[in-house]
Amino acid sequence: QVQLVESGGGVVQAGGSLRISCTASGGTFVNYCMGWFRQAPGKEREFVAAINWSGATTNYADTAKSRFTISRDNAKNTVALQMNSLKPEDTAVYYCGARFGLPLVTSSRDYGHWGQGTQVTVSS
């Protein structure tokens, strides 16, 4: 049973950058596709980015393309999300999710493990 802990959230001005990370424990990390999702107040959890077990394949929501980069370090059991050119509408709680096996998917329903979330606030 993999456990996930996010870190690195905070407050940043619009146009700034932030890097959030997720550390996994309790499972074989390379067996999992990893994803980042976010949830703003009053809204459903939405897909942001995902990465396959090796890091060779990634997928991004349209809102994240060209601004966000997902990466993973299998030696350290971590997955990160580098966020650049942040906008106030990026404000949300960001969650790390793990999905056992293949394929790379973007629906939160297909991820069986979640972290507690980290708050990202972008001020205008």
Mean pLDDT over each residue of the chain, to the nearest integer: 96
Q: What is the mean pLDDT of residues 81-87?
A: 98
* Contact between residue 99 and residue 32 where contact means Cβ atoms under 8 Å apart: yes
Q: Which residues contact 62 (CB under 8 A, 6 or more apart)?
A: none
Q: What is the mean pLDDT of residues 80-95?
A: 98
Look at residue 104 in the predicted model and tell me its pLDDT. Answer: 85
22-80 confidence digits (pLDDT tens): 999 998 999 999 999 999 999 999 999 999 999 999 999 999 999 999 999 999 999 99
* Contact between residue 74 and residue 51 where contact means Cβ atoms under 8 Å apart: no
Angle at 72 between CA 96 and CA 109, to 5 degrees: 30
Look at residue 32 in the predicted model and tell me its pLDDT. Answer: 95
